[in-house]
Amino acid sequence: MQVFETKTAVREAVAPWRAAGERTVLVPTMGYLHAGHMALVERARAEGDRVIASIFVNPTQFGPTEDLATYPRDPQRDLTMLREAGVDGVFMPDVTEVYAPGAQTIVETTELSKILIGKLRPGHFRGVATVVTKLFNIVQPDTACFGEKDYQQLCVIRQMVRDLDMPVRIVGVPTVREPDGLAMSSRNVRLTPEDRAAAVVLSQSLFEAEEMAKTGITASRLRAWVAANIQANPRADLQSADIRDAETLATISGPLQRPAVILLAVRFGKVLLIDQRVVTP
Ligand code: PAF
């Protein structure tokens, strides 16, 4: 497995693969890898001939009061995991390699970036869309894999790729969960033992809501039930609970007629956890 620290090095590695007709799949990550990331890698291997993972804690997607400094990192362990998973190359740049001084250009989905998580974390999706665009331009993959856990991020990236005619196929990969249902996330390690135990309320609410969605319940009543179920847990500080059209993220309130997605953002202490579930009527 090759490790690249510069844009030039990764481009030079990918170019001959492309010339030989091999398809490159990119797995963008911010490191501190877990089984959810490894599911992305496994899917990437099935989607193409070569896999490049990137490890880059992107500063532009963190707000000024957010956890950039304390975001968990373990690059050596990440590299071991990626090597064992058969990844061909890892792009691991420094911040200055990605963001040149004086850069002025940003990429933003004007509507999708302002709703839901975008309201809680202003500027977050602008940072994501900008860095993903840069990674696509640097690596020039045929395909890129993203987790469905970050559902709004996946919608933002799909929209951006459509709007800007980016020649990259986007593959969404289902959420990987702990045995008790908690969605895997690099942030889970920052939960106290009490909050870790309480955090199971997210997946438990989603799974119950999935069953309720089959009974003809309206979206508003389902949303209200999910919100109340989470608020009943004294450790959970509900930030948002929404039901949206699964494809467009448009609001819905009446009977569910198409697949919808339930999106949750809940704080436990200082840790913001998100989770989602697509439900079908
Ligand atoms: O999902 C993530 O880990 C990040 O948002 C991403 C897509 C790697 C961009 O920094």
The DSSP call for residue 99 is: S
Residues 274/265, Cβ–Cβ less than 8 Å: yes
Question: For residue 152, how far is its CA from the centre of ligand 1 (angstroms)?
Answer: 12
Rounded mean pLDDT, 199-222: 97
Active-site annotation, residues: 37
Rounded mean pLDDT, 105-133: 97
Rounded mean pLDDT, 245-272: 96
Closest residue by CA, ligand 1 atom 1: 29
Question: For residue 129, how far is its CA from the centre of ligand 1 (angstroms)?
Answer: 9
Ligand 1 atom, smallest distance to 135 CA: 9
167 three-state secondary structure: coil
**Domain spanning 2-173, CATH architecture:** 3-Layer(aba) Sandwich (3.40)
Residue 127 to residue 185: CA distance in whole angstroms:
19
Residue 37 to residue 40: CA distance in whole angstroms:
5
Phi, psi of 275, rounded to the nearest 5 degrees: -155, 165
> Half-sphere exposure (CA, 13 Å, Cβ side) for 104?
0
Phi, psi of 193, rounded to the nearest 5 degrees: -55, -35
List the chain domain ranges: 2-173, 186-279
124 a known binding residue? no
Does pLDDT of 172 surpass 90? yes
134 a known binding residue? no
Q: In CATH, which superfamily holds the domain spanning 186-279?
A: Pantoate-beta-alanine ligase, C-terminal domain (3.30.1300.10)
The 10s digit of each residue's pLDDT in 33-42 is: 999 999 999 9
Ligand 1 atom, smallest distance to 186 CA: 3
Task: For residue 67, name the pLDDT band (cuts at 50, 70, 90).
Answer: confident
Task: For residue 252, name the pLDDT band (cuts at 50, 70, 90).
Answer: very high
Question: For residue 147, how far is its CA from the centre of ligand 1 (angstroms)?
Answer: 9
